[in-house]
Amino acid sequence: MKKFSLISLGCPKNLTDSEEISAKLAALGYELSGGGKSDVCVINTCAFLKSAVMESEKHIKEQIELKKKGLIKKIIVAGCLAERYREKVLEKYPQVDSIVGTSSIDHISYALKGDSFVLPHGKLHSQDRFLLTKRHSAYLKIADGCNNRCAYCAIPYIRGPLRSKPLDEVLREAESLIENGAVEISLIAQDITAYGMDVSGKSQLKTLLRKMSKIKKLKWLRLMYVYPEGIDEEFLNIIRDSANICHYLEMPIQHISSDVLKRMNRRSDEKSIKNKIDLIRKIVPDMALRSTFITGFPGESEKDFKKLLSFIENYKFNSLAVFPYSREKGTPAYGFKDQLPASMKKARAKELLSAQARVVDEYNKKLISREVELLADSEYSARAFWQAPDIDGYVETDFKMKTGEFYKAKIISAAGYTRFASKSLFPKVP
């Protein structure tokens, strides 16, 4: 049987594309290589930031060297780098056999013959997937593309406008994942609160959540990329009243200074963001909040930065990521005159992360002796509801678990985003 190797880079949204690519190759008679020689290597790239482009090109160069040694016969570059830079990839790397854009996965069979496809962004539909995650936890992409047009972001130019999967297809895909063993599903999109707006002019996320909350075999439904503008009392009540929706929101805020947010072309300001967080914590008091922030955006003053620093210190997110602003060609912010020095951007990012480390230390003190429900990812590693896969740390246990099962345990110590738990007197959760 012919073999294929796969390198999947970037975000979970890209991972679901990689799973679709893998399923199509499997249907064509290819088997995923466990190492050694392969007939084709597919590199599903990320190109959101300069750093992502550099990582993608690093992997391309590595695979070219393997091709020269005869370990790989063909190289296909797929995903965001192929979409954003198109023919430049083939010009720069003539050893690459073909490229496939983010909306051209259906043409992977032609790419195997050397044809390249970067097609217009069409309607989004569910596709067969060859899961690359462990069976018990899977991502479900409900939409692709974005209409928000944030000044710093290249995603709309790469992924295209918002395109939502039909609701019935999302539900069937969820059922399929559950039949395959998933007990946790993480909903993903560039902005899941915009789900359905391209179809009906208003969000259909609440309708989707009500239907998914009734799926009995689904134990944890996790919501990722929830923009604050799409959160209201009705949305929060659905979460509060549902047995399987995790009290967890990944909510990208990016900044708290109204002046910076306006220049970013974000739709919220300082007052509305703080009011929204207060509302969240009022209706769902134990809600775990994760966010992302950008520091060093053009024109960010010392006052703006101190306001952001104070916000992080006082509003106490369970976890967060900080990115020094990356100047990306093709975005409105690229042409802003008041760009800040790289050293300042990095220093500010470091200070924000130090502030968050102190917040996490405080949070950890409150976790000690707390009884928690854990989902086992391996024999001695698990996650609580406040920990999304791969990004929020994990819980190490002093007892052996079965992957995909739920357990109750007591937190006995913590260091940063790694916590430690003992089974104590608690049995496996039925």
* Mean residue pLDDT across the chain: 95
Q: What is the DSSP letter of 229?
A: G
DSSP three-state, residue 340:
coil
Digit-coded pLDDT (tens) for 180-228: 999 999 999 999 999 999 999 999 999 999 999 999 899 999 999 999 9
Q: Is the dihedral of CA 235, 240, 245, 249 positive or negative?
A: positive
Q: State pTM to two decimals.
A: 0.94
Query: Which pLDDT score is estimated for 73?
Result: 96
- Determine what percent of the chain is predicted with pLDDT higher than 70: 98
Q: In this structure, which topology does domain 137-364 adopt according to CATH?
A: pyruvate-formate lyase- activating enzyme (3.80.30)
Digit-coded pLDDT (tens) for 228-282: 999 999 999 999 999 999 999 999 999 999 999 999 999 999 999 999 999 999 9
Q: Give the domain ranges of the chain.
A: 2-111, 137-364, 371-422
DSSP three-state, residue 262:
helix
User: How far, in Å, CA of 185 to CA of 220, rounded?
Assistant: 6
> Which whole number is the average pLDDT over 368-378?
96
Q: What is the largest CA-CA distance in the chain?
A: 63
Query: Cβ neighbours of residue 320 under 8 Å, at least 6 residues apart?
Result: 290, 291, 292, 293, 312, 356
User: How far, in Å, CA of 44 to CA of 23, rounded?
Assistant: 14
Strands 220-223 and 184-188: parallel
Cα dihedral 188/189/190/191 (nearest 10): -90
Considering the domain 2-111 in this protein, what is its CATH number? 3.40.50.12160
Digit-coded pLDDT (tens) for 13-58: 999 999 999 999 999 999 999 778 999 999 999 998 999 999 999 9
**Of the candidates 161, 225, 151, the residue with the CA atom closest to the CA atom of residue 187:** 225
Residue 120 in this model has a pLDDT that exceeds 90: no
Query: Cβ neighbours of residue 253 under 8 Å, at least 6 residues apart?
Result: 228, 268, 273, 291, 292, 293
User: How far, in Å, CA of 217 to CA of 102, rounded?
Assistant: 32
CB-neighbour burial class of residue 201 (10 A; exposed 0-12, middle 13-18, buried 19+)? exposed
Task: Determine the Cα angle at 279 with ends 351 and 188, to 5°.
Answer: 70
User: How far, in Å, CA of 82 to CA of 403, rounded?
Assistant: 36
Strand runs labelled E in 213-370: 220-223, 245-250, 288-295, 319-324
DSSP three-state, residue 273:
helix
Classify 371-422 by CATH class: mainly beta
Asked whether 315 and 253 are in contact (CB, 8 A), the reply is: no
